[in-house]
Amino acid sequence: RELHAIRAHIVACIQSLHAITDLFAHGVYYGLELSKVLKLSPDDITLWKVQKRLSKSRTEKTLAVQLNKLATSGRAKYLAALSNHSKHRSTVKNLVSLDMTGTDPELIRLNFESFNYGNKEFDQQEVLPLLEAEFNRISKIVVDSGIELNRILQAKFSSSKPLKGRAAN
């Protein structure tokens, strides 16, 4: 029973980490009012489409680089495939290994079984190092991207007329 709970938490963690890219894409799309120049339905707003549009702008290029890192650096492609496989097909099995020799510093290890997604083979990966590395990578990029988004918005609003209902500085 405990193993089922562990697996459920692992799947939730994977899907939460992967969802950050979609949430951030929506935040940037609406925050920068990209809907005025890039008409997308809410279901079509993706990190790739937002990043591509930002890369064409001189003032938003740094944010585009950050979004590209969010989608491509580290083990982003592995995480995306793992999340999508678990959403659209079935969860990738977690293999449990138990060291009975006493030579491994970890008594128990959890591994994702190798799997195929999008005609690409993904190797077996150890669960905790993958999740820790991706959490740390995503957290840093989101903070850096948020700082850049804030800079862009401050520049945009400081050079425009005060918004209705917004106090003038």
**Residue 110, phi then psi, degrees to nearest 5:** -110, 135
d(CA 46, CA 43): 8
Least confidently predicted of 54-68, 102-116, 152-166: 152-166
Q: Would you say residue 18 lies in a domain?
A: yes
Q: Would you say residue 94 lies in a domain?
A: yes
d(CA 145, CA 141): 6
Q: Would you say residue 163 lies in a domain?
A: no
13, 14, 26 from 92: Cα distances, Å: 13, 11, 28
Q: Would you say residue 10 lies in a domain?
A: yes
Give yes or no for residue 84 having a pLDDT over 90: no
d(CA 52, CA 71): 12
Q: Would you say residue 169 lies in a domain?
A: no
Q: Would you say residue 95 lies in a domain?
A: yes
pLDDT at 166: 52
Would you call 57 helix, strand, or coil by DSSP?
coil
Confidence of residue 59 (pLDDT cuts 50, 70, 90): confident
Q: Would you say residue 161 lies in a domain?
A: no
Residues in contact with 145: Cβ distance below 8 Å, sequence separation at least 6, in sequence order = 24, 28, 63, 66, 67, 70
Can you give the residue range of the structural domain that contains 22? 2-155
d(CA 119, CA 33): 36
Write out pLDDT tens, residues 85-102.
877 555 655 556 655 667
Q: Would you say residue 50 lies in a domain?
A: yes
What is the total count of domains within the chain? 1
What is the average pLDDT score of the chain?
Answer: 85
